[in-house]
Amino acid sequence: MANQQNAWPKKITVDKRIVQILSGSTYSNFPSAIRELITNSYDADASNVDISIDLENEIITVADNGKGMNESDFAFYLRIAGKSRKKENTTTKMNRKIVGQFGVGFLSVLPFCERYLIETKKKGSAEIVYATIASTEYFDESLRALDVDDIPITGGLRLDEGRINEQFTRIRLVGFSKLTRAYFNKEYSIASRRKTKLNFDPMSLLKWELEEYLPLIYHPNSDLHLQLNRYIDDQSIIPFNVYLNKQQLYRQTYADNILEIQHEPIRIGEISFKYFFMSDYHTINPSEARYLLFRNLNVGVGERTTLGLGQDGRIFGKLPHITGEVQVLDGLNDLISVSRDKFNFSPDYEAMKEFLRGKFAKLAYDLDAYRQAEKIISTGQDSSKVNTIQDLKKDNFEKEISQLEKKGFTIRTDITRPQSAPVQINQEAKEIILNPSYVSDYDKLFHFSGKEFKLKASHWDTTDSLPAIRKDGAIYKINENYSLFREKNFDTFLKMNLVLFEYVETNKINLEIYNNLINDLSKITS
């Protein structure tokens, strides 16, 4: 075996499932192929990974300071997705949980270059292993993968005594394939798409994909990011820094308010996980940042998901307002697909999704409730209109405020709140701010025909000589028993009745004429 491992040229041993994955590569797979390559650096205990992209000369370089490989390691590196590819150890020397188990990272980039060049070295040795793989020989003109077992990998060893204390792996993808050119030339239409990552330029899209899926930290420049970094709780002894054309990459947040966060792991069956949900109380953009991202051992898996919410016909209008992630710590590594874009079925996995689905649904309902309460209170404070007689009732507002209190909102008074808008909802702080005058009383201010009216809902018998409106000091009482005030055009009928009532008040008409007009108005909807 040792002689075979140290013989050149070498051969790739590949699982046919991976051949099928490679055959299905498109230009859109380019970022995920680079991502898989960088995951290898993570498993190699690299603390720094430098990605440089030279578009003019068509060269992509991925260099890391990981543990590197000797010739025997490199032979193991070429055994892809077979039983010999699986290792007994689940953690590295730097206490990182090993992510890769199929070797997809090595092969995934082959459809995107003409030649794959690698140099790698272990610390304490003068030997540098180098090899060249002619990527174009693995695919036909339609980019279908050929039988890779028969294609030789040329290379060898060279000595450099001056670098004996160094460790590294340096991979160069030389010469772009037509898929890579299509990606960087942006040869696809997005005319019908809005607020999506597909509107990004190619380099920004690559950056977005890497930051979305790689095991990175958040930029430690805010209390929120520091809290989320504590949530990640990376047990690795060393950091993992990734640079794209010398710019450091960080995991991104797409909202600033944590709705719920689970710092301590939860266990369902064999699966251990934690999670968080966030929102800014409006639609998350780009659209691909909405919903939940599953991470296995801190690496993103597949696209974000709603976990099927809404598929049964129920409407969750605020789902696009929520972003978050599920951090799977243990129990799903053996269920991840070869393509690393989904998990295979297990009862524990289904139970975990059902648990998270309930959390997701509750938060979406809560956001709906916040928005509804805000809408009702905002409408009630709009002095330019009155939608329904409910807008004149203080208990209608108190009901909404009470519902928000049950959802964790606190109430405080603020004398600087304007009397025209005595209630404010601060969703970010989960706070309701009241003008002191609102606490003792509530009058709806309504501006109409150059005048300000203070309105309040009341009720009395409509056989009264003033069946629609009465005046009590400066307050105009509006009779909720009056038939026209129960119609959908309440605002219009209110204005008409205010005009008629003012005519009575200023003796422009007498009560008899007023009541005749009131009776005629009531016939409009009869």
Per DSSP, the residues of 237-268 read: SS--EEEETTEEP-B--S-SEEEEEEEEEEEE
Query: In this predicted structure, what is the pLDDT of residue 7?
Result: 81
**Fold of the domain spanning 1-211:** Heat Shock Protein 90 (3.30.565)
Query: In this predicted structure, what is the pLDDT of residue 83?
Result: 40
Give the residues across from 268 on adjacent strands: 271
Round to whole Å and give the CA distance between 366 and 362.
Answer: 6
Provide the token pair at 131: 């090899």
Q: Report how far apart, in Å, the C-alpha atoms of 389 and of each of 152, 444, 461, 494 are.
A: 83, 10, 17, 9
Taking the alpha carbons of 252, 258, 259, 263 in that order, is the dihedral positive or negative? positive
Query: In this predicted structure, what is the pLDDT of residue 85?
Result: 47
How would you classify the pairing of strands 48-54 and 241-244? parallel
**Fold of the domain spanning 253-378:** Ribosomal Protein S5; domain 2 (3.30.230)
Burial of 110 (0-12, 13-18, 19+ CB in 10 A): buried
Which residues of the chain register pLDDT less than 50?
A: 1-4, 81-85
Query: In this predicted structure, what is the pLDDT of residue 22?
Result: 65
Query: In this predicted structure, what is the pLDDT of residue 390?
Result: 87
Burial of 266 (0-12, 13-18, 19+ CB in 10 A): middle
In the chain, domain spans:
1-211, 253-378, 381-522
Question: What 8-state DSSP symbol labels residue 526?
Answer: -
Kindly report the CA angle at 405 between 401 and 407, in degrees rounded to 5?
120
**Taking the CB of residue 156, how many other CB atoms lie within 10 A of it?**
11
What contacts 186, CB < 8 A, 6 or more positions away?
A: 201, 202
Query: In this predicted structure, what is the pLDDT of residue 64?
Result: 98
Provide the token pair at 419: 């009397």
Query: In this predicted structure, what is the pLDDT of residue 17?
Result: 63
Query: In this predicted structure, what is the pLDDT of residue 372?
Result: 81
Place of tokens 């077992």: 149
pTM: 0.80
Q: What is the DSSP string of 424-482?
A: EEETTTTEEEE-HHHHH---EEEEETTEEEEEEEE---TTSSSSSEEEETTEEEEETTS
369-403 residue pLDDT tens: 888 887 777 777 778 888 889 888 888 888 888 87
Round to whole Å and give the CA distance between 381 and 369.
Answer: 18
Evaluate whether 52 touches 61 at the Cβ level (below 8 Å).
yes
Query: In this predicted structure, what is the pLDDT of residue 82?
Result: 42
